[in-house]
Amino acid sequence: MCGTDNVKRSASSSAIASDAVINLDHGDPMIFESYWRKMGDKCRVVIEGYESLSYFADVKNLCWYLEPKLEEEIRRLHHTVGNAVVEDHYVVVGTGSSQLIQAALYALSPPDQIHPNSIVSAVPYYSSYLEIVEILRSGLYKWAGDARTFDKEGPYIELITSPNNPDGIIREATVNRGDQGKLVHDLAYYWPQYTPITSPANFDMMLFTASKCTGHAGSRIGWALVKDKEVAKRMIKFIEVNTIGVSKESQLRTAKILGLVSDSCLHVDSPEIENFFEYGQRIMAERWKRLRDVVKRNEVFSLPKYPIMYCHFTREYTETHPAFAWMKCKEKIEDCEKFLREKNIATRSGRRFGTDPHHVRVSMLNKEEEYELFLERLKDIQVD
């Protein structure tokens, strides 16, 4: 986070100061705050002082620290949305998907191999992959860069983000080298507010996170759907050693929230509650329309175009509305991040994603007043 770059507000109100830096560098999902405010106390969870004392949640479950209610609601939500096959998959919960990525790399890297696994992802790849892989300096695996140019013999793990962060493109495996490779599908954004649900994903390793599904990033809950029992066991062992499980308070809160989301889709108990994903899709589509209108008028930037596809969840043809805008500056602007920073707009440089500085990633998930100010500043930008 850019601590000193956080949006400044006037002392007397919540209005944003005119000289504030609008921080669109990180994907903090405050866009969904208005929906959850409307829910009032419907997601309230009361935990008595004597509850949740034990490390264990269900000793009969392979993932012994996983709260049964959370597993139930995870499986129910995927059934409701139709975005992932949960049958024949073990649920492994982690402290956000970041911990699950490390657990997956550990689980997929045999301890007796002579050389470390090569970790690859196609450019532009999620900017944190490099940091996640390298921070522990593990002897089990090593960052090997762009999957498109990877030509080293030996075992590898390909990280596939789909829809991709930063550009929102639907992705498939790139390397395709048979038994030598293992795949981790990061599906954090495969939800109806961001992209059409064209079919249920059915891969050996699929990662999801509450932060991008419902907007509850602060709860730090992610989950993996894992086909292979031994791989799931090794992931659980990693989390056991790393954090001795996952916060029960966060799990129970997330279970309550996922349950309400499913109910909103199925109109259970409270038919007046708006379908969460239809709400999210509407505001994401509206934000993208406003951004495209501004970009079209000022002719300084360009944005990707996405195909219209049939969504089996909404039963409509719709366009992708990614959580991030992958924005490209005119050739005259050599460093787009620096250029926008001079306009008090903080973004993330294309360099962080393995590509060129003409690109930046812009979060579409900020609060409305911040997003509106971003568009106003973008309108005023002119380049000769």
DSSP 176-199: --GGGEEEEEE-TT-STTTS---S
pTM score, whole prediction: 0.94
Compute the distance between CA of residue 337 and CA of residue 347 in angstroms, rounded to an integer: 6
Task: Determine contact, residues 354/128, Cβ cutoff 8 Å.
Answer: no
Q: How are strands ordered across the β-sheet holding 117-121? A: 90-94, 222-226, 205-209, 181-186, 156-161, 117-121, 141-146
End-to-end CA distance of the chain: 33
Among 216, 213, 165, residue whose Cα is nearest residue 193: 213
Pairing of strands 308-311, 117-121: unpaired
Q: How far is CA 174 from CA 101, 121, 178, 316, 358, in A?
A: 19, 8, 12, 30, 24
Nearest 5°: phi and psi at 376?
-60, -40
Which pLDDT belongs to residue 178?
A: 75
Residue whose pair of structure tokens reads 């990061």 in the numeric block? 186
- Crossing angle of helices 68-81 and 248-266, in 10° steps, is 30
Q: How far is CA 47 from CA 66, 83, 96, 244, 256, in A?
A: 17, 32, 22, 20, 13
Nearest 5°: phi and psi at 207?
-110, 135
Which pLDDT belongs to residue 180?
A: 85
Compute the distance between CA of residue 228 and CA of residue 248 in angstroms, rounded to an integer: 25
Task: Determine contact, residues 223/74, Cβ cutoff 8 Å.
Answer: yes
| DSSP helix/strand/coil, 157 | strand
Which pLDDT belongs to residue 1?
A: 40
Kindly provide the residue ranges of all beta strands, DSSP E only, lying in the chain, ordered along the sequence.
Answer: 22-23, 90-94, 117-121, 141-146, 156-161, 181-186, 205-209, 222-226, 301-302, 308-311, 316-319, 324-329, 345-346, 348-349, 359-363
Cα angle 215, 218, 222 (rounded to 5 degrees) comes to 75
Which pLDDT belongs to residue 12?
A: 35
**Predicted confidence pLDDT, tens digits, the chain (384 residues):** 444 344 444 333 457 887 899 999 999 999 999 999 999 999 999 999 999 999 999 999 999 999 999 999 999 999 999 999 999 999 999 999 999 999 999 999 998 888 999 999 999 999 999 999 999 899 999 999 999 999 999 999 999 999 999 999 999 999 988 778 999 999 999 999 999 999 999 999 999 999 999 999 999 999 999 999 999 999 999 999 999 999 999 999 999 999 999 999 998 766 779 999 999 999 999 999 999 999 999 889 999 999 999 999 999 999 999 999 999 998 789 999 999 999 999 999 999 999 999 999 999 999 999 999 999 999 999 876
Cα 11 to chain centroid distance, Å, stands at 33
Compute the distance between CA of residue 30 and CA of residue 371 in angstroms, rounded to an integer: 11
Percentages helix, strand, coil for the chain, rounded to the nearest 5? 35, 20, 45
